[in-house]
Structure 1
Amino acid sequence: MSLDDLWYLADEADQQAEQAYHRLRERHDGFLERRHEKHVSRGRFRTLASRIRERGTPYGAHTIVHRPGGDLLLVRHEGVDMWVLPGGEVDPGESFREAARRELAEEAGVEATYEGLGVLGRVEVRTGGYDTWGVLPVYAARADPEGPTPRPRDPDGEISEARWFTELPADTRDRDILREWRRRRGV
């Protein structure tokens, strides 16, 4: 794809993102909205814009899993060397929620009751004179406090550990989102 084609790719991605955004807003309420901007290389821009064009999201769907006492479930992602929310790419024919549930099972080995959309992220991606955006749906789900100990079964081998946290570890990605979500929930 030539650089001139990036404009068309970005435009198609924008259209898909807009549709995904409106579908999520129509189906859910009471969620936190966040905006994040990423400046990336042209190659990375092409990759993310292609993902957005296909499914509306550059990074898939994720889940904030909590227990009644306020503990949050995080997984250790070796690729970024941080504790993150379980989640990942959306497979063809899969809804965002289905992807979030599948990724939770793979990355943490736990089941949870999905409560709805917790956070609707808008990820703006830029490189040079090109830009596009995609959604980042993060669902909220409640786990049984007596449920199984989290154990990753990640087929990609990126997740090395899954654990409950009362206090977020220092190397937690998206700390501000998790703190705001907890504050709004009174947890």
Structure 2
Amino acid sequence: MTLDDLWFLATEAEQRAEQAYHGLTDAHTQFLEFSRTYDVSRRRFRTLARRVSESGAPYGAHTAVYRPSGELLLVWHEGVDMWVLPGGGVRDGESFRETAERELGEEAGIEAEYEGLGIATRTAIQCGEYSTWGVLPVFEAKAETTALMVNDPDGEITDAKWFAELPENTRDREQLCAWRDDRF
């Protein structure tokens, strides 16, 4: 892929991100919005821009699952060495919510009552002079079952736990705390 092709891919991704973002935000109310930026290598930029051009999301869809007590479910992601929300990549023909539900089942083995969009993050991706963005949707859901069982086919998720206080090594900890404070 030449550099001009990379510019074209970034532009295509940005158009798909706009569609996905507006589709989500127009369909939901009372969610938190955040922005973040990642500087990545050219190879990673290409991978993420392709994902965004296909679905609008560089990192798929996720779920903030809570117990009525306010405890939040996190899963351990070996690849990033952090606690994260259950979630992952969008498959062909899947909606963001369908992705979030499937990933929750695989990564934690529980059922939850989905209540809508909790967080929409505009995720900017940069590599030198190239940039694009995508949306990271986080749905909120109340746990219907709480016994955890990890069955991740990718092998990236190795543990799942309920947390009253989020560990320091939680990805997007500040945003999750803001969501929880707003929610409870």
Instruction: Give the TM-score normalised by the residue count of structure 1.
Output: 0.97
2: CA distance, partners of 1:109 / 1:77: 15
What is the CA distance between 1:170 and its match in structure 2?
Answer: 1.8
1:34 corresponding residue in structure 2: 34
2: CA distance, partners of 1:161 / 1:85: 12
SS of alignment partner, residue 151 of structure 1: coil
2: CA distance, partners of 1:164 / 1:65: 9
Please say if 1:94 is aligned against 2:94. Answer: yes
1:143 corresponding residue in structure 2: 143
Q: 1:152 corresponds to which letter in structure 2?
A: V
1: CA distance, partners of 2:53 / 2:168: 34
What is the CA distance between 1:185 and its match in structure 2?
Answer: 1.2
2:55 corresponding residue in structure 1: 55
1: CA distance, partners of 2:126 / 2:25: 24
Please say if 1:123 is aligned against 2:123. Answer: yes
What is the CA distance between 1:3 and its match in structure 2?
Answer: 1.0
Please say if 1:175 is aligned against 2:164. Answer: no
2:164 corresponding residue in structure 1: 166
2: CA distance, partners of 1:65 / 1:181: 12
SS of alignment partner, residue 167 of structure 1: coil
Q: 1:84 corresponds to which letter in structure 2?
A: V
Please say if 1:70 is aligned against 2:88. Answer: no
Runs of 4+ residues deviating >4 angstroms: none
What is the CA distance between 1:148 and its match in structure 2?
Answer: 4.1
What is the CA distance between 1:161 and its match in structure 2?
Answer: 0.5
CA RMSD between the two structures:
0.7
Q: 1:82 corresponds to which letter in structure 2?
A: M
Q: 1:165 corresponds to which letter in structure 2?
A: F
Stretches of structure 2 that go unaligned for 5 or more consecutive residues are none
Q: 2:148 corresponds to which letter in structure 1?
A: P
2: CA distance, partners of 1:3 / 1:175: 35
Q: 1:153 corresponds to which letter in structure 2?
A: N
2: CA distance, partners of 1:40 / 1:102: 28
- Deviation by residue 1:108-162 (Cα, 9 ceiling, x = unmatched): 0000000000000100000111100000000000013xx2411111000111111
- Deviation by residue 1:80-125 (Cα, 9 ceiling, x = unmatched): 1111000000000000000000000000000000000000010000
What is the CA distance between 1:182 and its match in structure 2?
Answer: 1.0
2:79 corresponding residue in structure 1: 79
What is the CA distance between 1:169 and its match in structure 2?
Answer: 1.2
Q: 1:66 corresponds to which letter in structure 2?
A: Y
1: CA distance, partners of 2:173 / 2:181: 12
State how 1:7-22 maps to structure 2 within 5 Å. Answer: 7-22=7-22
How much identity, in percent, do the aligned residues show? 62
SS of alignment partner, residue 73 of structure 2: strand
1:184 corresponding residue in structure 2: 182
SS of alignment partner, residue 131 of structure 2: strand
